[in-house]
Amino acid sequence: MDNPLFTVRGLYKIFPGANNAALEGLDLDLYEGECLLVAGSNGSGKTILMRILAGLLSPGGGTVLFRGEHLEKKLKSKHGEFRRELGIVFQDPETQFVGETVEEDAAFGPVNLGLSAAKTAERVQEGLEKTGLGGKRTCPPRHLSGGEKRRLAVAGILASGCGIIIMDEPFANLDWPGVVQVLTIIRDLKQEGKTLVILTHELEKVLALADRLVILHRGRIRDTGKPEEVLNRLRPEYGVRDPRQSYISAKDCSWLS
């Protein structure tokens, strides 16, 4: 296998005053072009892991290598280069919008990276087209639906040219058409060879697109491998539900065992 994009060893994070570590000796390799699904119960450490990989939060201990180089060093010396590579779709994408219009928002990344006006316009056009937002260019981001807001966050990341995209709970608060919109984008990005990390409770929605499943529990990786194999080994204490069910009648549709 190729060298990993990220090599994480013994990653540790404890917040001041907390009784337990949020991440407790976590090891993970992330490879270029893979679609990695990270599942785990509330508070298992998914968002903290994402923030550390994205360079938004400092680890308390352990090492994070990005393309073989210490991430902290890379952020100091080549901050712009790293930002060009990795983009995040936050659980509440509304918090990441900065533009008055959809177009302006999608342009924020490329403008910040110092691209020319012509190149920015080209990237924005491409990002909005790929996410199906070409008809909403002049719309204020706050007027978009939940699914459209997530798509706009992805458009901005694409316009910045990022090849690695981390999505935190991309299906939260979406109705069925909204889930389908976001899933379609995930499928297309995967087909384009982007590296995707998806943190979610809603395994049933995206499992079919995943190359690898990681189970996080109390700040540690408890299992990782092909989704099917990990689910076959799933233990109830991890708080992750195996979504493989065949419902025949409405009465069978229950999350209670």
Instruction: Give the residues lining the site for ligand ATP (CB under 6 A).
Output: 15, 18, 22, 40, 42-48
In terms of CB distance, is 44 or 131 closer to ligand ATP? 44
- The item of ligand ATP, Mg ion, none sharing an interface with residue 249, based on CB under 5 to 8 Å by kind, is none
Q: Which two tokens stand for residue 237?
A: 């204490």
In terms of CB distance, is 22 or 115 closer to ligand ATP? 22
- The item of Mg ion, ligand ATP, none sharing an interface with residue 44, based on CB under 5 to 8 Å by kind, is ligand ATP
44 binds Mg ion (CB under 5 A): no
Q: Which two tokens stand for residue 69?
A: 């180089």
Among the listed ranges 42-50, 146-154, 206-214, 232-240, the one in contact with Mg ion (CB under 5 A) is 42-50
Q: Which two tokens stand for residue 203?
A: 């395994």
Contacts with Mg ion: how many residues (CB under 5 A)?
2
In terms of CB distance, is 46 or 74 closer to Mg ion? 46
Check: CB of residue 7 under 8 Å from CB of residue 68.
yes
Among the listed ranges 25-33, 41-49, 111-119, 131-139, the one in contact with Mg ion (CB under 5 A) is 41-49
160 binds Mg ion (CB under 5 A): no
Nearest of 57, 78, 56 to residue 67 by alpha carbon: 78
47 binds Mg ion (CB under 5 A): yes
In terms of CB distance, is 40 or 170 closer to ligand ATP? 40
For residue 112, the minimal CB distance to Mg ion (Å) is 26
Q: How many CB atoms lie within 10 A of CB 234?
A: 16
Check: CB of residue 21 under 8 Å from CB of residue 52.
no
For residue 23, the minimal CB distance to ligand ATP (Å) is 8
In terms of CB distance, is 39 or 210 closer to Mg ion? 39
- The item of Mg ion, ligand ATP, none sharing an interface with residue 156, based on CB under 5 to 8 Å by kind, is none
Among the listed ranges 29-37, 47-55, 114-122, 218-226, the one in contact with Mg ion (CB under 5 A) is 47-55
200 binds Mg ion (CB under 5 A): no
Q: CA-to-CA distance for 155 and 157, rounded, in angstroms?
A: 5
In terms of CB distance, is 47 or 120 closer to ligand ATP? 47
Contacting positions for Mg ion (CB under 5 A): 46-47
